[in-house]
Structure 1
C-alpha cells in the first residue's frame, strides 16, 4: 500500500509540474495595453506592455512595430466615484 501511495504522489507531482503556468500579463493600473509580437519563427515570443493612458498614446508607440493596442480587460472601469469630503468650518 505504501508503494502505491508513493507512486500516486510522484505521478501527481510530475503532472502538476509539467502543466504550464501563466502569470497575470495585464497590469490593472493603466487602461490600455500594447500587445507586442516578436520572432515568428526564430524564437522570441510576445508580451503585453500595460503602461498607456490612451489608445492614441499606445498607437503612437506601436507605430512601426509588430504590435497592437487594446483596452485592458483588468482595468477597473466601473469603480464608484470617490465620496466627497466635507471640511468642517471653524
Structure 2
C-alpha cells in the first residue's frame, strides 16, 4: 500500500513540475528589451543600440538593458605582457 501511495505521489509531482526555460540572452547583441505583462513578459536580445531598443519600447510596458552575456569581437585570447626586469 505504501509503494502505491509513493508511486502516485511521484507521478503527481512529475506532472506538476513546470518546464525549464532556455537562455533568453543572445550573446551576439549588446542590448536587450525586457517587456512586462500580466501573464508574464519576455526578453528580446536583438538590438544593436540603446536608441534602437528605445524606439521599439516606446509606448509599451518595457525597458532596455545591457546584455550581460554580450561577447564583443568573439573569442580573443588575452595578450601576454612581459615584465620589466
TM-score clears 0.5: yes
- Structure 1: state its 5+ residue gaps: 83-90
Aligned residues of 1:26 and 1:50 also touching (Cα < 8 A): yes
Aligned residues of 1:26 and 1:72 also touching (Cα < 8 A): no
The 10-residue stretch of structure 1 (53-62 or 23-32) with the greater mean CA deviation from structure 2: 23-32
The 10-residue stretch of structure 1 (50-59 or 3-12) with the greater mean CA deviation from structure 2: 3-12
- Structure 2: state its 5+ residue gaps: 78-85
Indicate the residue corresponding to 2:70 in structure 1. 75
Secondary structure at the counterpart of residue 75 of structure 1: coil
**TM-score calculated relative to the size of structure 1:** 0.60
Can you list the C-alpha shifts for 1:53-88, whole angstroms capped at 9, x where unaligned? Answer: 222211121112110011223334595328xxxxxx
- Equivalent of residue 45 in structure 1, options 40, 49, 55: 40
**TM-score calculated relative to the size of structure 2:** 0.63
Q: Name whichever structure is richer in strand by fraction.
A: 1
Matched, 1:56 2:51: yes
Indicate the residue corresponding to 1:10 in structure 2. 8
Residue correspondences, number: 76
